[in-house]
Chain A
């Protein structure tokens, strides 16, 4: 058999060898192929001159549904009387449709309605002689749906039903196929060695496959759906962020989520009555405190800085600092807590550290707020660092994460001065969006920790960048545990 023929074309020619002329539908029935597959293959075979196609058109009537007036009678016939009118209503889409159906059936005498003594309207079937027109219509519908010929009388009833769409007139093209001698030459005589269903270890071992072909399969048929294993897109993005930081010379930090308020707030010069320390915004753990925290060493320095500026050259906040407030355990509200702890422990003159991890805020969940989300905070510590270095770092960092256009605007945080907000242009929403807070740590933060060189710091969230990348408009979708999205989301490479 010619190898230039598609397996489907081969199957059709094989069928035509047994019956040289067939209608398209017969070929479908005989080969078990789809109509479209056969139609496409016949076009090719005809172009190659293997078959001739003769087309003829004919009109065919198709059943389009039960007219409502017939449906009413049918319902009445199927229900023991008396039948309250209201019982029938439920079978119709609208009051309008129902009353039209009732009207038609009643005017033809197919049903009779009467109002009883209780004011209840009931329905019964009309008398036998008024039902002859109903019988004719039913006969017509039967013939149409069973493809049987219709009588002259029935033909008169057609226009009304066709106009109302209960009978449809469909134009159909009929294709007669005849195989040519050229086509027959392409098909091997029956009785040639039989095709193999599949290879087996035995067939391979015995060599029985030699000289035999494999039975062609419908290679276009659908295969079963497969769901491969996949990492979470947030994890993949975190990996990308970690690699970006590492490539810029940063050391990764990891640490606990729960800290005394001291490290989350006080050490960052956030006054104890600052609104962000409210239970409204921060998760405090019920009944738990770090009782080992005492006003000595670093804690004492920080406390004095809050009260009067201590040796930092600041005025301080001017209030009485309380150890109890600093001891309360909180779920960290930012990851800068990890950098600050690392700073106070190492007191290195030059270092770069980062952490990508969860932070927690007492929020109602909505499309742009979550109670738990990820931040990718980092700091650079070093002699001679200044705000232009901060700007340079952030521009480069976001360029690596796929943000081509970044602006830096002045803003405020209690623990940095100057403070800058990073704004990036999102092509997805065609707008500038907030990416990160950043700044140079205030002396009120660094000096009490024993750090004598400038510290550049920033604390960006990752979810907004991810939403832009995945074209999501609801942050909750990232953590919605929606299996179909996690299975089927498109794999996105960087940016």
Chain B
């Protein structure tokens, strides 16, 4: 989750509260405290609240909660006189653009740091790594309006940020780190989007990189903001968050006229959104018989308001989708710590799942036989499953893009992971007798089958077929009340001539045998190993 750093002296001034009070209340705004220092605290915020991406946004919410400033924050915006014309050829590439201006800025280093961090978080979150939405911040004094958002060919050149010379858009995609990181957003495009002013100065090559000419510094007094996107709503959401944050940072907002071929609009639109204020839903969700007055005052503490039976939601609150979200805002404003827990007594008895109980008994039977239970991972490595038993891997069930090849294939049997466990314990006392009750996977009719297995291995100088057979027979007898039968058979884990199929009541359940010496060697073991595998799902079916 994204993180914001809150500096206490700075934040105390913003919200009018001291360090201890701030630390105590941050969780009740919905923020997770990651670490606390003497002069600062780092908090994690959920991606549904991108308006918490700066200390400005957090202060806005905190002031409401502390009752210092409640109700809807106001964001007046005057026309900036700037217009942007959109090239229709961008409709299949990156169709939407929304812009705003912010003037009268006096940014210090910390302000700039907070804004950059917000931009990063928005790019990664709502922006889906800039694929869906990308933001450009520019020094407005370097721009000569009107602007155009237009399509250019691969050989179009300009000087990108942090570059000494002009380069073509294609070489930016190929050679610059930003190009390589984000070019996926433009894959398949035959034209490329750029934002240029009336003199041809390039502001941005979205969503890749800004131009060098309009770079923002602490000296920037007026800012131009562009937000390009694949989806109009997402772009407007992001622009609302960025521009209202700049307003909190002390700037005056200005609107921009965006002209599409088939119509035009003025951005940003920061009018509050409306959501039905369902008082009945509020009361039933919170289990509190709150008065209308209490509900309204709680909503105002959450920086919302109520008008004509509707909740007014500030435009930057993009997470409010349903009247139930209004109920939560009431709870937040009221304070979750003021809600009294109420244990809901059960009117019915509980019930164990029979199969889970059966699996648990299988484990008990084995432990009482003197064995140690292992719990290994279901995702394992292909060599342990296949090559160490010299069997083909054609039926393997692999997961896509695993972070580690040690956990990349679903096991079809417990014997391989148990062998791997033994090989990690060669320094422990022998005899070693281990078992596992675990899930295994197989392919079935174009899909996947899952079942539960009991696996067991015995490793010591005298480990033998008959010892393993003794254990599997006692397990079958104790779990099913029936005698197990053994028939000569073969299995990839066991030596020929030292392997039998185990069945109960005519149903084949698994194999018992002596592990073949090439596998003992492949797992780095130095003692004989015997064991068995038994299908517990099938055994359970037999008992029903």
Contacts and interface: CB of A to CB of B under 8 A. Distances in A.
Contacts of B450: 256-258
A247 interface: yes
B321 A362 contact: no
Interface string A360-380: 101111000001100000001
A288 B439 contact: no
Given A364-B403, A410-B29, A410-B328, 11 more contacts: A309-B322, A329-B448, A350-B348, A352-B346, A358-B439, A362-B401, A386-B342, A392-B344, A395-B343, A410-B28, A481-B375
Interface stretch (B74-82, B163-171, B349-357): B349-357
Interface stretch (B215-223, B238-246, B332-340): B332-340
Contacts of A484: 425, 428
A388 B286 contact: yes
Contact of A486 (B342, B373, B377, B410): B373
Contacts of B110: none
B124 to A, nearest CB: 8
Contact of B432 (A275, A331, A483): A483
Contacts of A360: 378-379
Interface string B151-193: 0000000000000000000000000000000000000000000
Interface string B351-372: 1110110001001101111111
Contacts of A372: 377-379, 407
A334 interface: no
B347 A388 contact: no
Given A389-B343, A421-B32, A254 B355 contact: yes
A384 interface: yes
B47 interface: yes
Interface stretch (B262-270, B392-400, B486-494, B498-506): B392-400
A234 interface: yes
A410 B30 contact: yes
A140 interface: no
B327 interface: yes
A285 B356 contact: no
A483 B344 contact: no
Interface in A201-246: 225, 227-232, 234-235, 239, 242, 245-246
B377 A384 contact: no
B283 to A, nearest CB: 9
A9 interface: no
11 contacts: A230-B373, A242-B356, A249-B349, A252-B353, A285-B400, A360-B378, A389-B343, A391-B340, A417-B325, A417-B328, A418-B328
A403 interface: no
A387 B375 contact: no
A350 B347 contact: yes
B403 A313 contact: no
A345 interface: no
A317 to B, nearest CB: 8
Contacts of A275: 47, 125, 128
Given A313-B322, A411-B46, A385 B344 contact: yes
A397 B278 CA distance: 32
10 closest residue pairs by CB, A with B: A249-B346, A386-B287, A246-B350, A412-B46, A392-B343, A391-B341, A481-B421, A252-B353, A392-B341, A232-B373
Interface residues of A, number: 97
B380 to A, nearest CB: 10
Contact of A235 (B27, B373, B376, B399): B373
Contact of B321 (A251, A252, A316, A409): A316
A483 B428 contact: yes
Given A229-B368, A231-B367, A393-B343, A486 B28 contact: no
B531 to A, nearest CB: 15
B434 interface: yes
Interface string A420-449: 110000000000001000001011100000
Interface of B: 27-30, 32, 46-49, 125, 128, 132, 231, 233, 276, 284-288, 319, 321-325, 327-328, 331-332, 336, 339-344, 346-353, 355-356, 360, 363-364, 366-379, 397-404, 407, 410, 420-421, 424-425, 428-429, 432-434, 437, 439, 441, 446-448, 450
Contacts of A286: 397-400
B439 A418 contact: no
Contacts of B410: 285
A407 B48 CA distance: 22
Contacts of A419: 328
B18 to A, nearest CB: 21
Contacts of A273: 128, 132
A239 B360 contact: yes
Contact of B374 (A331, A412, A417, A481): A481
Given A229-B367, A235-B363, A417-B328, A440 B285 contact: yes
Contact of B379 (A279, A371, A387): A371
B360 A235 contact: yes
A228 B322 contact: no
B439 A249 contact: no
Given A275-B47, A410-B30, A479-B377, A388 B353 contact: no
Contacts of A444: 321-322
A285 B346 contact: no
A488 B16 CA distance: 56
A396 B343 CA distance: 7
Given A411-B46, A412-B49, A257 B439 contact: yes
Contacts of A475: none
A324 interface: no
A388 B342 contact: yes
B344 A382 contact: yes
B309 to A, nearest CB: 15
Contacts of B29: 410
